[in-house]
């Protein structure tokens, strides 16, 4: 059977796919030339909503409310939008084989799709405890969060286990955001992670102390320095307890695991150059295969600001890299040039009444400033990271939009710091007064 042919094909239906589609439409697109293939059953949506507003006990976010591109203040692309633009949404379709040299993708159902240009936007999959053979990890109500189906399952279990005990395995983004969401649902929450403090890849001990103190003040128990090594379940197969390496056993009605993700690159192994766990690209997201681009979590790209190759797992980069790749595809067709991708790393999170933003690189010596007392009525604090006498990174909790823009500017410009003590005393004003 001859495959269905598209001039442009986006593989993956997450955030990057939606932003890429919008950029194609913006730059001029004929009907029937573009398709998005997604194994999910819904049009692209803003994935961060799943660990935040989707789980709220009141006023919870639901589709179609958070389809892309509302996460960055843009127009919401409902399924009808794709039809109006002549873009085919091929949903609930898993691609099981990719032959890049033949420009062909094959689905689990045996359908084939051919392309002139491919944008790989497959994102990441969650790491599951069953991958490591953890005893009892296949019990019911041991949950993960990546896609909307996962979130629906989590909502269902939260409602069926009212006032129950929840154990969060992992102290990163997902762990902290879900810990807050489950507490808001009146569950008895315990967080378990092996590191000495939460969010260790980004937070310093000083920053983490605030969040751990704040969570404990909300009634969340935190157990550090150990891992889950097994689970008990009842006759129905429902989880009842989490066994920790240090010998403790925690009662549990719900377990949510957030121990990281893996970029989904398996389909392309041996066909495309890889580096640092991702698909290697240039500053336009072109891979080693002509007319094949990779964006978002799966791309290892040149980070111009730091003159190194890096892979970035974050929604902000997913959006911006997708748009940049589409601009590059169109520029190549038109014989014009665009600038290389010049990205300032950006991360953020919201939980309870807290909201932080981070820009730049957390390398060098951290300088903590402001009110980081977790019992303060309105805590507001931040950190700069100083390396080679310059600011390389900036973090702020509780900042206004203007203040967050100021710390972004500091991280981008990397101003020199003559006196570290003076910087600590100036705190946020060092950023806000920068010209």
Assign residue 32 a region (left: φ > 0; alpha: ψ between -120 and 50; beta: otherwise): left
Asked if 273 and 293 sit in the same domain, the reply is: yes
- The CATH number linked to 282 is 3.50.50.60
pLDDT value of residue 434: 84
Domain boundary among 273, 304, 334: 334
**Cβ-contact 178, 55 below 8 angstroms:** yes
Q: Look at residue 33 and tell me if it is in a domain.
A: yes
Whole domain around residue 285: which residue ranges? 4-125+262-334
Asked if 191 and 233 sit in the same domain, the reply is: yes
- CA separation for the pair 65, 86 (Å, rounded): 22
Q: Look at residue 345 and tell me if it is in a domain.
A: no
Query: Could you tell me the pTM of the whole model?
Result: 0.96
- The closest alpha carbon to 89, from 10, 22, 20, belongs to 10
Show the CA angle centred on residue 153, arms to residues 150 and 155, nearest 5°: 110
Asked if 118 and 27 sit in the same domain, the reply is: yes
- The closest alpha carbon to 35, from 116, 123, 125, belongs to 116
Residue carrying the six token digits 């109500």: 141
Query: Could you give the C-alpha distances from 63 to 19, 49, 145, 374, 422, in angstroms and in order?
Result: 17, 10, 17, 34, 49
Asked if 133 and 227 sit in the same domain, the reply is: yes
Q: Look at residue 390 and tell me if it is in a domain.
A: yes
Q: Look at residue 341 and tell me if it is in a domain.
A: no
pLDDT value of residue 2: 64
Q: Look at residue 346 and tell me if it is in a domain.
A: no
Q: Look at residue 339 and tell me if it is in a domain.
A: no
- CA separation for the pair 191, 206 (Å, rounded): 19
pLDDT value of residue 1: 52
Asked if 120 and 134 sit in the same domain, the reply is: no
At 218, list the tokens. Answer: 């909300």
Strands 221-224 and 346-351: unpaired
Question: Per-residue confidence of the chain (435 residues) as pLDDT tens digits?
Answer: 568 999 999 999 999 999 999 999 999 999 999 999 999 999 999 999 999 899 999 999 999 999 999 999 999 999 999 999 999 999 999 999 999 999 999 999 999 999 999 999 999 999 999 999 999 999 999 999 999 999 999 999 999 999 999 999 999 999 999 999 999 999 999 999 999 999 999 999 999 999 999 999 999 999 999 999 999 999 999 999 999 999 999 999 999 999 999 999 999 999 999 999 999 999 999 999 999 999 999 999 999 999 999 999 999 999 999 999 999 999 999 999 999 999 999 999 999 999 999 999 999 999 999 999 999 999 999 999 999 999 999 999 999 999 999 999 999 999 999 999 999 999 999 999 986
- CA separation for the pair 335, 340 (Å, rounded): 15
Residue carrying the six token digits 């997604």: 38
- CA separation for the pair 9, 17 (Å, rounded): 10
- CA separation for the pair 296, 329 (Å, rounded): 16
pLDDT value of residue 3: 85
Please count the structural domains in the chain.
3
- The CATH number linked to 372 is 3.30.390.30
Asked if 225 and 284 sit in the same domain, the reply is: no
Asked if 141 and 28 sit in the same domain, the reply is: no
pLDDT value of residue 365: 97
- CA separation for the pair 6, 23 (Å, rounded): 17
């Amino acid at each position: 059977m001859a495959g269905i042919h598209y001039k442009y094909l986006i593989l993956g239906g997450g955030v990057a796919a939606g932003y890429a589609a919008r950029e194609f439409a913006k730059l001029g697109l004929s009907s029937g030339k573009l398709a998005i293939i997604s194994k999910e059953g819904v049009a692209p949506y803003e994935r961060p909503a799943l660990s935040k507003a989707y789980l709220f006990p009141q006023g919870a976010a639901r589709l179609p409310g958070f389809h892309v591109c509302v996460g960055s203040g843009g127009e919401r692309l409902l399924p009808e939008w794709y039809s109006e633009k002549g873009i085919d949404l091929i949903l609930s379709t898993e691609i099981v084989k990719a032959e890049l040299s033949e420009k062909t993708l094959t689905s689990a159902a045996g359908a084939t799709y051919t392309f002139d240009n491919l944008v790989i936007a497959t994102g990441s999959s969650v790491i599951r405890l069953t991958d490591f053979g953890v005893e009892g990890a296949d019990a019911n109500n041991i949950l993960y969060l990546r896609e909307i189906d996962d979130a629906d399952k989590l909502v269902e279990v939260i409602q069926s286990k009212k006032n129950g005990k929840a154990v969060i395995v992992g102290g990163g983004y997902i762990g902290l955001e879900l810990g807050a969401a489950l507490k808001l649902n009146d569950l008895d929450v315990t967080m378990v992670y092996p590191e000495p403090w939460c969010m260790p890849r980004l937070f310093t001990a000083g920053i983490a102390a605030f969040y751990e103190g704040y969570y404990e003040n909300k009634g969340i128990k935190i157990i550090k320095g150990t891992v889950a090594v097994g689970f008990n379940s009842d006759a129905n197969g429902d989880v009842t307890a989490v066994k920790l390496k240090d010998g403790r056993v925690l009662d549990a009605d719900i377990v949510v695991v957030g121990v990281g993700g893996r970029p989904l690159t398996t389909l392309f192994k041996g066909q495309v150059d890889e580096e640092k766990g991702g698909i290697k690209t240039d500053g336009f997201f072109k891979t080693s295969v002509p007319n094949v681009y990779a964006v978002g979590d799966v791309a290892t790209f040149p980070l111009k600001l730091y003159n190194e190759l890096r892979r970035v797992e974050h929604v902000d980069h997913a959006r911006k890299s997708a748009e940049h790749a589409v601009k590059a595809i169109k520029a190549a067709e038109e014989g014009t040039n665009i600038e290389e991708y010049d990205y300032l790393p950006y991360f953020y999170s919201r939980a309870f009444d807290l909201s932080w933003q981070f820009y730049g690189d957390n390398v060098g010596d951290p300088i903590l400033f402001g009110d980081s007392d977790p019992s303060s009525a309105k805590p507001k604090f931040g950190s700069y990271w100083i390396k080679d006498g310059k600011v390389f990174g900036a973090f702020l909790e509780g900042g206004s939009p203007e203040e967050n823009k100021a710390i972004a500017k500091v991280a981008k410009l990397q101003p020199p710091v003559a006196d570290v003590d003076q910087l600590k005393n100036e705190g946020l004003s060092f950023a806000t007064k920068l010209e």
